[in-house]
Amino acid sequence: MIFEPAPLKDAWIIKQKPIGDERGYFARAFCEKEFAAHGIPTGFVQVNTSFSKDAGTLRGLHWQIDPAPEPKFMRCTRGAIYDIMVDMRPDSPTYLQHFGIELTPENQTMVYVPAFFAHGFLTLEPDSQSLYMVGGYYTPECERGIRYNDPKLGIELPIEPTTVSEKDLSWPLL
């Protein structure tokens, strides 16, 4: 696995290193030892999957506050997504800065989204699916969100969202 620091403090871009032969390839998708060597917490408590039938489906941007933060380790298993994260930690040098990256099965790129980061993604292809490990349980009273199109953030997306839930459209502006 190849670990590259993302532009936001404590966030990571992680790439698989496939070993191939005539049968296909093998690649490690997660290794607790390698995460620990890079100072990345690995207390994941559940694995989620998300499927979106249409391109242009936007999910997010959400995070959870104490006592139930939710760090995430995210990958795309089918189709393509544009993954977005925003540092919501007021004491961080990258507070309110955002970062986006395309994740596909072909590019074998994954991201580690730290606790207290708003997170979401936009599907770039129909029938896109993601798989992500989460370091906390969903706790509705700790959930927070911001709008993906908040002018204060200035997030530029590769395509215009066509499907966004009412909940995600109703988050407050900063």
- State how far the Cα of 10 lies from the Cα of 38, in Å rounded to an integer: 10
Residue spans of beta strands (DSSP E) within the chain: 2-5, 12-15, 19-21, 24-26, 46-52, 57-64, 72-78, 81-87, 98-103, 109-113, 117-123, 128-134, 143-145, 163-164
pLDDT of residue 16: 95
Determine contact, residues 54/63, Cβ cutoff 8 Å: no
Average pLDDT score over the chain = 97
pLDDT of residue 127: 99
pLDDT of residue 17: 93
pLDDT digits (tens, 9 = 90+) for 16-54: 999 999 999 999 999 999 999 999 998 999 999 999 999
- Mean pLDDT, residues 73-96: 98
Q: Confidence class of residue 150 from pLDDT cuts 50, 70 and 90? A: very high
Name all domains of the chain by residue range, CATH numbers in brackets. 2-17+25-169 (2.60.120.10)
Q: Which of 109, 107, 102 is nearest to 123 (CA)?
A: 102
Catalytic machinery residues: 62, 132
HSE value, Cβ hemisphere, 13 Å, CA-based, for 127: 2
pLDDT digits (tens, 9 = 90+) for 101-143: 999 999 999 999 999 999 999 999 999 999 999 999 999 999 9
Q: Which two tokens stand for residue 92?
A: 């961080």
Q: Which two tokens stand for residue 1?
A: 């696995």
Q: Looking at this protein, which amino acid is placed at residue 24?
A: G
Percent of the chain with pLDDT over 70: 100
Q: Confidence class of residue 70 from pLDDT cuts 50, 70 and 90? A: very high
pLDDT of residue 2: 97
Percent of the chain with pLDDT over 90: 99
